[in-house]
Amino acid sequence: MPTVGIIGTGLIGRAWANVFARGGWDVRLWDPDAAALANAPNLIAKALQDVARHGLATDPAAAAKRIGVATSLEDAVRDVAFVQENGPERVEAKLEIFARLDAAAPASAILASSSSAIVASRFTEKLKGRARCLIAHPVNPPHVVPIVELCGAPWTAPETVTRARAIYEEVGQVPIEVKQEIDGFILNRMQAVLLSEAMRLVGEGFVSAEDLDKTIRDGLGLRWAFMGPFETIELNAPQGTPDYCARYGETLYKLSSRPVTPDVWGKENVARAVESWGRAPSSADILKKQRWRDDRIAALVAHKRAQPKAE
Ligand SMILES: NC(=O)c1ccc[n+]([C@@H]2O[C@H](COP(=O)([O-])OP(=O)(O)OC[C@H]3O[C@@H](n4cnc5c(N)ncnc54)[C@H](O)[C@@H]3O)[C@@H](O)[C@H]2O)c1
């Protein structure tokens, strides 16, 4: 089986190790923090057991056995087919890590970064192997949320994106291609619009934070677990998308035409939204609820996989 080098074994690196190991790949981990590296295999093995309860890993013990630890970054990426980088979200860190990766990994290996917000052109331009570098931005945590946004720099070879797409699909993820570099890629741009409007509606007193959450959790979100906005509008008018746009386009334009201003995310508005939310969980409470969330998402993903395709 091919080997993937996982660079950085924090939250995201460990989740990627989980995805590749259960997908049948050999996994080699490296992190400069000795404790983070030493703890990673056990944490990943436990998370593999967790997802296996929902059928997202068929043999978690065998998957855990495929995971090994390297003594250096260079050792982690020798003879690999793929590298997933998950180091700190700072340009200087990505520059340093990618220079070392490009020097040490076989020329045939793809070098993918999990970066949330730093486009690849900011840290790969000077590399000899820049054509094999791209962003593969996951959503936390990728071992239960399958989407991964692929975005190359202007010099990334199309073949790099094609091969990366095939590899992520093979290990059970859902890759999409961002065709041009853009801040926030796609998912966070969509999320930004929704969150800004949520902050405004709650901060300006139109609705409580709890009731706003219900409109997503028990409203829009139920559809969105199975279809995106385009498929949603297609089903909301008898003649499909053009019909929907003719009926509702102008109204939707009016509803969204007030631009987001800095005060929406300013101190006063945030304080009002936080007061409306009215909760102050401890870090331990948050950790417990994150586990519950991941477990529920894994169950939903398993449910989705088991469904017949719509006609
Ligand atoms: N947490 C999220 O929600 C999320 C979602 C999508 C993408 N990402 C991206 O994934 C990457 C990792 O984020 P995270 O949440 O796992 O962070 P994290 O802080 O949990 O882990 C980062 C790890 O990188 C290690 N590290 C430090 N210097 C390094 C170096 N020079 N080389 C390699 N590793 C090094 C640290 O020891 C740490 O274990 C970031 O680029 C982040 O933007 C994060």
CA-closest candidate to residue 86, choices 169, 17, 185: 17
3-state secondary structure of 267: helix
Please determine, for residue 309, whether its predicted confidence score (pLDDT) is greater than 90: no
CATH of 187-280 given 1.10.1040.10, 1.10.3080.10, 2.40.10.120, 1.10.630.10? 1.10.1040.10
Q: How far is the CA of 73 from the centre of ligand 1 (A)?
A: 15
Domain 3-177, CATH class in plain words: alpha beta
Q: How far is the CA of 77 from the centre of ligand 1 (A)?
A: 17
The verdict on the CB of residue 84 being under 6 Å from ligand 1 is no
The verdict on the CB of residue 115 being under 6 Å from ligand 1 is yes
Confidence label for 310 from pLDDT (cuts 50, 70 and 90): confident
Please determine, for residue 1, whether its predicted confidence score (pLDDT) is greater than 90: no
The verdict on the CB of residue 219 being under 6 Å from ligand 1 is no
- The percent of the chain in helix, strand and coil, each rounded to the nearest 5, is 55, 10, 35
Kindly report, residue by residue over 86-104, the tens digit of the pLDDT: 999 999 999 999 999 999 9
Kindly report, residue by residue over 39-88, the tens digit of the pLDDT: 999 999 999 999 999 999 999 999 999 999 999 999 999 999 999 999 99
**Average pLDDT of the chain, as a whole number:** 97
The verdict on the CB of residue 91 being under 6 Å from ligand 1 is no
Atom from ligand 1 closest to the CA of residue 15? 16
Beta bridge partners of 29: 6, 69
Please determine, for residue 238, whether its predicted confidence score (pLDDT) is greater than 90: yes
The verdict on the CB of residue 88 being under 6 Å from ligand 1 is yes
Q: How far apart are CA 53 and CA 300, in angstroms?
A: 12
187-280 and 3-177 share a CATH fold: no
Domain ranges of the chain: 3-177, 187-280
